[in-house]
Amino acid sequence: MARTAVFGLFVALASVFSACVGDAGAEAPSHDPMPAEKAIVLAVEFCSHAACAYVAEAKGWYGEAGVPIESFDSYVTGMALSAALTRGEIDAAYICLIPAICAFANAKVPLKIVAGTHRYGYAVSCNPERITSPADLQKPGIRIGCAREGSPTDALLQKAVDVYRLNPQKVAANIRRMSPPKQLLALRMGHLDAAVMPEQYPSMAESAGFPVLLTAQDLWPDMQGSVLIVTERFLERNPRSVLRLVEVTERSTEWINRNPEAAAQILAKALRITGNRIFPVKEIQQDPVLDTTPQALQRSLTERLVCTTRIDPEQVQKTIDYLADLGYIRQRFEADQILAIDR
């Protein structure tokens, strides 16, 4: 497939400025002094999907690499982050692939995917007293929590319908639309029987006694979970910063895979601090089911996510095609239009 002009610019700069990314004991990549580029308005999702960003920020690796960060903003869902992208408030983001595709296709947000962050990372949690098999999801009276149409979790639920040949109308009648934190609370309070959530929420639910019924690994082989995106405008005007941002992401991802326990500790602290800011209701903050423990986060990072910056363009194309089949994007497009990665 043809490569875009932006991709060509990215590769040309990479050949000049790229450096090897070290592991936990290695030195950070060195760079010659260059003119300062625009500080990045960086956004992440409030979940373990953005572990590489939270770890890099906590360790100061962005600053070490010469990547100026103007703000580091967290969003409860990828859909909320996608809306901020549409408003032009963000330069770069660690975001689930599906909201990124929807923003590009439906809102015409000019963005490029420059790296992956993980594969998989979604699951269906359940009340074992009410649900023991996927077929139970279509039973009358079952209440399924899920984010709105067009979200990764809704797409995963549609995959469950396809794989297990469930009745789509019966499943749709059981869905209750709400955010992942609300799903987790509703599951604990007995207001839901199942919840389709991104990690780390299924791992947290498991710690609270609600087992995982299905994972993304069960339903969607090689599913691309989240990606690092930048706006085309930022890439064209600040290519060195984008290249360094990718390098830091690679360094952090490698470190997480080598040090999952330490990474979980860092992530737990970061999510607790952020949670106190984005969940203003005191009762919600203090609910133990919402406690992001290192144990749950380590399980999330090692069992439910495959942390890698590599992207398979074919899988991105399959995701685009599936979203078009579901009607979540208006029409199919070639994956090369959104990808700016080294093949």
Please tell me whether residues 89 and 136 are part of one structural domain.
no
Residue written as token pair 């797409």: 155
**H or E stretch including 123?**
strand 122-126
Rounded to an integer, the average pLDDT of 33-44 is 74
Tell me, what DSSP letter sits at residue 185? H
Domain end position, chosen among 191, 218, 245: 218
Q: Which two tokens stand for residue 86?
A: 């549409």
Q: Is residue 5 part of a domain?
A: no
Q: In what order do the strands lie in the sheet with 144-146?
A: 175-177, 144-146, 194-198, 122-126, 212-215
Tell me, yes or no, whether 14 lies in a domain: no
pLDDT over threshold 80, residue 323: yes
Q: Average pLDDT for residues 161-171, to the nearest whole number? A: 98
- Report CA dihedral (319, 324, 330, 332) to the nearest 10 degrees: 70
Q: Are residues 229 and 333 in the same domain?
A: yes
Same domain assignment for residues 207 and 268:
no
Asked whether residue 273 is assigned to any structural domain, the reply reads yes
Q: Tell me, yes or no, whether 245 and 306 share the same domain.
A: yes
Same domain, 262 and 198: no
Do 147 and 189 belong to one domain? yes
Cα 176–Cα 180–Cα 185 angle in degrees, nearest 5:
80
- pLDDT per position as a tens digit, 240-280: 999 999 999 999 999 999 999 999 999 999 887 665 555 54
CB 111 within 8 A of CB 103: yes
> The domain spanning residue 243 has which CATH number?
3.40.190.10
Distance CA 141, CA 305 (A): 32
The reply to whether 103 falls in a domain is: yes
Residues facing residue 93 across a β-bridge:
43, 229
188 and 99 fall within a common domain = no
What's the structural domain count of the chain? 2
In the listed set 153, 187, 218, which residue is the last one of a domain according to the structure?
218
Determine the length of the chain.
343
Q: Are residues 199 and 248 in the same domain?
A: no
Q: Count each helix (H run) and each strand (E run) in the chain, helices first.
A: 16, 11
Average the pLDDT over each of 35-39, 151-155, 192-196, 244-248 and give the range with the smallest value: 35-39
Range of the domain at 61: 40-119+223-337
Residue 2 pLDDT exceeds 60: no
Interval 286-310: pLDDT, tens: 566 667 899 999 999 999 999 999 9
pTM score, whole prediction: 0.86
Residue 150 predicted with pLDDT over 60: yes
For the chain, what is the largest distance between any 2 Cα atoms, rounded to a whole number of angstroms?
A: 65
Between the alpha carbon of residue 40 and those of residues 70, 139, 339, the distances in Å are 5, 48, 20
Are 86 and 227 contained in the same domain? yes
Asked if the structure places residue 211 within a domain, the reply is yes
**How much is the pLDDT for 31?**
47
- Nearest-CA neighbor of 65 among 37, 99, 25? 37
- Cα–Cα distance between 302 and 293 in angstroms, integer? 14
Confidence of residue 23 (pLDDT cuts 50, 70, 90): very low
Q: How far apart are CA 263 and CA 265, in angstroms?
A: 5
Same domain, 101 and 232: yes
Domain boundary among 162, 189, 218: 218
Residues 267 and 274: their CA atoms lie apart, in Å, by 10
pLDDT surpassing 90 at residue 141 = yes
pLDDT at position 1: 36
Residue 156 has pLDDT above 60, yes or no: yes
SS3 213: strand
For residue 26, tell me if it sits in a domain: no
Q: How far is CA 46 from CA 95, 179, 258, in A?
A: 10, 12, 23
HEC per residue, 219-256: HCCCCEEEEEEEEHHHHHHCHHHHHHHHHHHHHHHHHH
Q: How confident is the model at residue 342 (pLDDT cuts 50, 70, 90)?
A: confident
More confident residue, 343 or 13: 343
Whole-number mean pLDDT of the chain?
A: 87
* 183 and 200 inside one domain: yes
Write phi, then psi, for 85 (nearest 5 degrees).
-60, -45
Query: Is position 176 within any domain?
Result: yes
Closest among 334, 315, 291, 284 to 104, alpha carbons compared: 334
pLDDT digits (tens, 9 = 90+) for 61-117: 999 999 999 988 888 777 788 888 888 889 999 999 999 999 999 999 999 999 999
Residue 201 banded pLDDT, cuts 50, 70, 90: very high
Residue-level pLDDT at 85:
84
**Hey, is 44 helix, strand or coil?**
strand
> Which pLDDT score is estimated for 9?
41
Look at residue 2 and tell me if it is in a domain. no
- Whether 264 and 208 share a structural domain: no
Strand-pairing partners, residue 94, are 44, 228
